[in-house]
Amino acid sequence: MKTGLRRPYPLDYERKRRVMIELARRGLTVSELARRINYSQGHVSSCISGRLLCRPLEERIAEYLGRPVQYLFPERTVAQLLAMQAAEARAKKRREGAA
C-alpha cells in the first residue's frame, strides 16, 4: 500500500520538546545522552526529532530519562505523519518564496 509518506519522516515538535525538557532538567545535551546510552549522536538526534522512527532507541532514551516511552515518543498514525509532512513542505515553500 502506497501512502505517500517519505523518509526522513517529518519533524515532530511535540516529541522533540518533551525530550529536550527532560534533558534540560538533567543538565544533559543530546551528545552527552548519546554517549551515555552508547548510540551515535546523529541517530539520537534524529530519533528525538522524529526523523528516525526506531522503537528500541526510543525505549532506551525513555528508560535512561526515567519517563514512559509513550509520553516521550507518542505513536503517530500515517495520517498524522502525512499531515506533518505536508505542513513541513508548505513551510519550506514559504521560506523559499521569501528568499
Answer yes or no: is 3 within a domain: no
Q: What residues make up the domain containing 23?
A: 13-98
Higher pLDDT, 2 or 44: 44
Is there a domain that residue 32 lies in? yes
Looking at the domain assignment, is residue 45 inside a domain? yes
Within-domain flag for 56: yes
Q: What is the CATH number of the domain that holds 30?
A: 1.10.260.40
Is residue 6 a part of any domain in this protein? no
Per-residue pLDDT band for 4 (boundaries 50, 70, 90) equals confident
Q: What is the pLDDT of residues 8-64, one digit of tens each?
A: 899 999 999 999 999 999 999 999 999 999 999 999 999 999 999 999 999 999 999
How many domains are there within the chain?
Answer: 1
In a domain, 5, yes or no: no
Amino acid symbol at 23:
L
With beta carbons less than 8 A apart as the criterion, state whether 12 and 84 touch: yes
Residue-wise DSSP of 4-48: ---SSPPP-HHHHHHHHHHHHHHT--HHHHHHHHT--HHHHHHHH
Read off the pTM: 0.88
